[in-house]
Amino acid sequence: MNANTPIPGSSALGQPMDRVDGRLKVTGQARYAGEYPELGLLHGSVVSSTIASGRVVRIDASQALAVPGVIAVIDHTNRPPIASYDEDYQDADSAEGSPFRPFYNDRVLYSGQPLVLVVADTLELARHAGSLVRIEYEIKSHQTDLSVGQGDAHTAPAETPKPRGDFPGAFAHAAVTVDTHYSTPNEHHNPMEPHASTVFYKPDGSLEIHDKTQGTQNCQDYLHSVFGLEKEKIRILAAFVGGAFGSGLRPQYQLPLAVMAALKLQRSVRLTLTRQQMFTFGYRPQTLQHMRIGAAKDGKLMAIAHDAIGQTSRFEDFTEHVVEWSGMLYQCDNVQLSYKLAPLDVYTPLDMRAPGAASGMVALECAMDELAIAAGIDPVQLRIVNFADSNGNEGKPYSSKELLACYEQGAERFGWSKRNPEPRSMRQGRQLVGWGMAGGVWEAMQMPASAKASIDSSGKITVSSATTDIGTGTYTVMTQIAAEAAGVNPEDVTFVLGDSSLPTSPLQGGSFTVSSVGTAVQQACRALRAKLLDAVRMAHPQYAVVDMADVGYGDGYLLIDDQRFAYADIVRESSHETLDVQIDAKPDDKREGYSTATHSAVFVEVLVDEDLGTIRVNRVVDAVAAGRVVNSKTARSQILGGVVWGIGQALQEESQTDHTLGRFMNHSLAEYHIPVNADIGEIDVFFVEENDSIVNDLGSKGVGEIGIVGVASAIANAVYHATGKRVREFPITLDKVL
């Protein structure tokens, strides 16, 4: 037995393990936020504003209150006391500015703003009574059109990298240049589960809340400061979250409204938003982007300028990383980035899957394709020529960056070498065939996180952290990490999450859950193993000084010389019922000298009907470099999902605003198009080997975002190759191709 190593073949890491919560999900036993019953539970229904700007003059709830079974109608005039200061409404994903304060006063800041909450014995009564509420407004003029509002744009309060080198000079002298504008639309997350909160009002006045969230403790903190409740009296639970993609990063308004009703009535209340109301809070903001790229004849980048304008609300400055990627993906000495925000009479945007990168990389990677064509260089070759092994924005080397392997292996699997570069040169009958590609990048971050590990006398380990599983596979991968680190089989591990009373966890987002919580779980389980060894040292004097490095482990045993000590026996022989450890994990200092990121290369085949302009994504190959993959099955699914999102972004998704009303028009799943099964062709996902000893001890970077990045640009580039038409306004609908 090698020293301090798992028994060969016993490692759970990397295995394509089935989801541990799979059985609950396929049998309908997994309960989501709005699905917890209680005797006498009340139901809420929100009445939303129909104007985009102004004031509420009068709310007439008399007809609603006359409906038998209606318990209360709550608005800004009769709500329980709430905080007034901005900082009391700030949360772990706040934007700069004054957060929206639901039911605070009579001001209407955007169309769809919640104004009234009707509470009744049944959902149907609440909804019906809501339709009887009459609201009189004082209407003010509004502006929701970014193309008009961009004139008032101000510099975003973001740490946009300072210019380096001399962009204007280098661009002016470049042999080949591209100077183009792109736009991306507003998009809504639309998780399948609408946002919901079930607030159980306990006899002692404490609140137990099932909320749809990506951060249980974020919601707890928010309610603590908004309502002045003691934290100990608020427990947020989120055992299952029916998708979020960023929509649950901030506490959404259904949570404080349900709490208002519960506090006012001292009753338990559930509030579930309608699908239409899923369009009344955060979204991916529209962007207007200007790319200028200059290169030498051989394609070497001389100059890059990326200027972006995003929309925001009048009360907060929402920022995301739109332009940074243009300064870090490729080697270029003369770079100039700018990022502005235009305030409109809308709600504040919100992080949505790969926030910033999904939008900004559209401009960069389409412009790179245009540059390849202008320079007469193969698009893959152009990217290889400009590969950067350090991040020019930060002046730091990448901890690992197997992007060249992504290009090479992806091209090989796709059959890129058979591509005729001439547009409209490939076809299948009436279908024009287009092959396009793009690169992807996303940060590999790590946040502080805590975890607790506990083993009982049957050898079963329970590991916990307050994080959530929004479909990402957190339950499963944490089980694998814990099993590997503790030296037990995954069947002997239970991972508990989604509870604000558990050890501190960051928001689940940004692809940093494996890196952050996974590291805490790994450290906690290693510490638990050390504690088991301590117990052996105590109980067996002959091993009192045995070194951890000389102890093998696996399958629930410690191995010292030829002696096997079963974990269950060790706990039984100790004087404790369980052995416990809790760990607070932090990013390792060694990360500071490096830039850390995931990368991908996406290859796409589209078929464009020559007569009808319909576009189908027939085939996608996505080569991903994300460090070590903890679960090859769930990680692949994450990337598959990201690719589907990229297809939606490229061809379908757009929240369209009627600027006369200042309101999203297509606020339903019939009119806000997302891909359906028939839209999805063959998707080949694979992970290139990438060893990274810097990023964290797991060597794992996270895969939630990287799957979407680059996909929309690869599709746009393929559409150009198929049709000879360059569409720069997303989504690429058939009218733009015909």
Residues of this chain that bind another protein (CB under 8 A): 18-19, 21-32, 35, 37, 39-41, 68-69, 121-125, 190-194, 240-245, 272, 274-275, 470-473, 633-634, 636-638, 640-645, 668-670, 674-678, 680, 682-683
Strand partners, 290: 181, 307
Residues in the chain: 738
Mark whether 365 is an active-site residue: no
* Closer of 299 and 648 to another protein (Cβ): 648
Positive or negative: CA dihedral 565, 568, 571, 573: negative
* Closer of 212 and 628 to another protein (Cβ): 212
3-state secondary structure 160-222: CCCCECCHHHHHHHCCEEEEEEEEECCECCCCCCCCEEEEEECCCCCEEEEECCCCHHHHHHH
Name the catalytic one among 35, 365, 705, 729: 705
CB distance 285 to 156 below 8 Å = no
Query: Interhelix angle for 519-539 vs 474-486, to 10°?
Result: 30
- Give all strands of the β-sheet with 154-155 in edge-to-edge order: 154-155, 335-344, 301-313, 287-295, 176-184
Report, in Å, the least distance between residue 353 CB and another protein.
10
* Closer of 124 and 577 to another protein (Cβ): 124
* Closer of 487 and 510 to another protein (Cβ): 510
First to last CA, the chain: 68
| Region for 554 from its dihedrals, namely left if φ exceeds 0, alpha if ψ lies in -120 to 50, beta otherwise | left
The tokens for 642 are 């990201």
Report, in Å, the least distance between residue 129 CB and another protein.
12
**Residue 578 to residue 457: CA distance in whole angstroms:** 7
The tokens for 643 are 């690719």
Residue with tokens 């003369």: 334
* Closer of 9 and 37 to another protein (Cβ): 37
Report, in Å, the least distance between residue 155 CB and another protein.
34
Report, in Å, the least distance between residue 68 CB and another protein.
8
**Residue 453 to residue 461: CA distance in whole angstroms:** 7
Report, in Å, the least distance between residue 681 CB and another protein.
8
Which residue type occupies 682? E
Residue with tokens 């009340």: 42
Report, in Å, the least distance between residue 37 CB and another protein.
5
**Residue 719 to residue 572: CA distance in whole angstroms:** 66
User: Does residue 530 sit in helix, strand or coil?
Assistant: helix
The tokens for 585 are 């994990």
**Residue 21 to residue 357: CA distance in whole angstroms:** 31
Q: How many CB atoms lie within 10 A of CB 397?
A: 15
User: Does residue 706 sit in helix, strand or coil?
Assistant: coil
* Closer of 274 and 494 to another protein (Cβ): 274
The tokens for 655 are 């929240």
Give the residue among 294, 324, 285 at the shortest CA–CA distance from 306.
324
* Closer of 83 and 123 to another protein (Cβ): 123
Report, in Å, the least distance between residue 24 CB and another protein.
8
The tokens for 431 are 């279908």
* Closer of 267 and 292 to another protein (Cβ): 267
Report, in Å, the least distance between residue 42 CB and another protein.
9
The tokens for 86 are 């901005």
Give the residue among 728, 726, 730, 722 at the shortest CA–CA distance from 615.
722
CB distance 554 to 10 below 8 Å = yes
Which residue type occupies 584? D
User: Does residue 497 sit in helix, strand or coil?
Assistant: coil
Give the residue among 255, 275, 269 at the shortest CA–CA distance from 122.
269
* Closer of 39 and 549 to another protein (Cβ): 39
Report, in Å, the least distance between residue 128 CB and another protein.
9
* Closer of 174 and 714 to another protein (Cβ): 714
Q: How far is CA 102 from CA 53, 110, 114, 115, 663, in A?
A: 15, 12, 7, 8, 19
CA-based max dimension of the chain: 84
Report, in Å, the least distance between residue 274 CB and another protein.
7
**Residue 688 to residue 696: CA distance in whole angstroms:** 18
**Residue 597 to residue 391: CA distance in whole angstroms:** 10
* Closer of 312 and 637 to another protein (Cβ): 637
User: Does residue 515 sit in helix, strand or coil?
Assistant: helix
CB distance 225 to 217 below 8 Å = no
Report, in Å, the least distance between residue 675 CB and another protein.
7
* Closer of 35 and 610 to another protein (Cβ): 35
Report, in Å, the least distance between residue 632 CB and another protein.
10
The tokens for 385 are 């020529």
Residues known to be catalytic: 705
